[in-house]
Amino acid sequence: MTQPPTRRDLLKAIGIGAAGLALPACAAASGKSPAPDSKPNILMILVDDLGYGDLSCCGAADMQTPNIDKLFASGIRLDNFYASCPVCSPTRAALLTGRYPDLVGVPGVIRTHIANNWGYLDPRAVMLPRLLKKTGYHTAIVGKWHLGLASPNTPNERGFDHFAGCLGDMMDDYYTHRRHAINYMRLEEKEIDPEGHATDLFTQWSIDYITARAQSKKPFFLYLAYNAPHTPIQPPEDWLAKVEKRQPGITEKRAKLVALIEHLDDGIGKVLAALRQTAQGDNTLVIFTSDNGGQLGVGANNGPLRGGKQDMYEGGLRVPACAAWPGKIRPGSKSDRLALTMDLFPTICDAANAKIEHKIEGRTILPTLLGMNQPAEDRFLFWVRREAGPYAGRAYYAARLGDFKLLQNSPFEPLELYDLKEDPKEQNPLGKKHPMYNKLLAALRNHIIEAGAVPWQKYPVNLKDPLTP
């Protein structure tokens, strides 16, 4: 049986010595003294509500996404990658902590009004930028934060050196950037009121950051979190006109979403071009994925998968993902290895040689990215969402082991067990008598017990809150 690669194997594969210093190829082979530190820059691109089938490289025949397609082709495509929740905040918490989101106080969406807020990022949670800073990185977030609207849960207070973006859950308008008539746009801790489409702003601010970092010897970690293609589906008019002209017969709803995604693709292309133009592209690990599946009500395409955003079915959880790293990740490669958003935390730490000395549930997939043999792992996986609206504050869940998945698609529906290998479209539930039903249910129960000890709401409900019945 082939043994999984050790951490020393990983460091050697990415050119970093055991002491955390980069080794030239000749030094790695000859045992000569290590060269100065040359850890990779890391660009983490997280988009918002992108469906599993909503890229041209993922089968969308009515869409043109040449820049993201090129990124997929230049590295490894992760065809079995899952968001850590079917909605926004929890997935972002998982990415930045490496933990199940309900174990760090974020079982649902963090929002403005207390009666409609379902998370409070645990002050004890160890954040990714803090670990990266310990190993010499400058850290930045551009775009959507969505893990706190006020002190102490703002990006700068939780470890980022630089923040330019939006604190809130969404924007009611891509041009005015308000949510509930509140301006959540910030430059560091300062409120700002910039002009322009949010996608264009986040693109330009990322380019500005990348350009500025080219003058520094320190590596950078840039977490670029676009809010597109989240609602409102509001592409620039010229992008919409281009889609309607190219795709006669397309519905207005679908045309708007296609245009918003194509505009997003153009922005990502400009950011990647900035890496090349500043001679930083060859030493940058780029990871791309979405925070959850596409929203069916606005015309999203989740490929052959059942359901969409908010669902515990595959369409709400399985998302497009890839990673590229010149000279380290083989172009055009693919992997069916099962991984979640929380796995990116240890993966990024491994690439940066940042030590993790506390408990996390995420597991590195760096060996897979580098083309090494990484044996499949039997581990229980969990998804949770606690939400208001029609869910009335009640949680619903999914649990998985191997190919078997137990899910509840809303708090008011029964649990269903599926064998995803035999039934990938989740059409034929297996029933309670199947031995995996109780096995997964027991594991889920234990997870719920563990998560129940973590506070997820800082304040009691204010009965005068306008959203309180």
146 is catalytic: yes
Q: What is the DSSP letter of 283?
A: G
Other Cβ atoms less than 10 A from the Cβ of 12: the count is 15
CA distance 419 to 71: 32
Q: What's the CA gap between 364 and 273, in Å, rounded?
A: 28
88 tagged catalytic: yes
Give the residue from 368, 381, 266 showing the smallest Cα distance to 322.
368
Tell me the C-alpha distance between 21 and 35, whole Å: 7
Question: Which 3 state secondary structure label does DSSP give 370?
Answer: coil
Beta carbons within 8 Å of 70's beta carbon, 6+ residues apart: 269
Q: What is the largest CA-CA distance in the chain?
A: 71
| Residue 57 near residue 69 (C-beta atoms within 8 A) | yes
Contact predicate 338/80, CB 8 Å:
yes
Three-state SS for 416? strand
- Given 85, 138, 146, 447, which residue is catalytic? 146
Neighbours of 77 (CB within 10 A): 20
State the residue for tokens 């008019």: 237
Residue of 88, 166, 322, 349 marked active site:
88
Residues with Cβ < 8 Å from 42, sequence gap 6 or more?
A: 132, 137, 219, 220, 221, 222, 284, 285, 287, 348, 351, 352
Which strands sit side by side in the sheet containing 185-187, from one edge to the other? Answer: 190-191, 185-187, 162-166, 138-144, 220-225, 41-47, 284-290, 321-324, 76-78, 333-335
Angstrom CA distances, 38 to 41, 80, 444, stand at 9, 31, 43
Please name which of 150, 104, 123 lies closest in space to residue 345, comparing C-alpha atoms: 104
Whether residue 403 contacts residue 421, with contact meaning beta carbons closer than 8 Å, is answered with: yes
Give the whole-angstrom CA distance, residue 367 versus residue 347.
Answer: 9
CA dihedral 448, 431, 389, 225 (to 10 degrees): 70
d(C-alpha 335, C-alpha 324), whole Å: 13
Active site residues: 88, 146
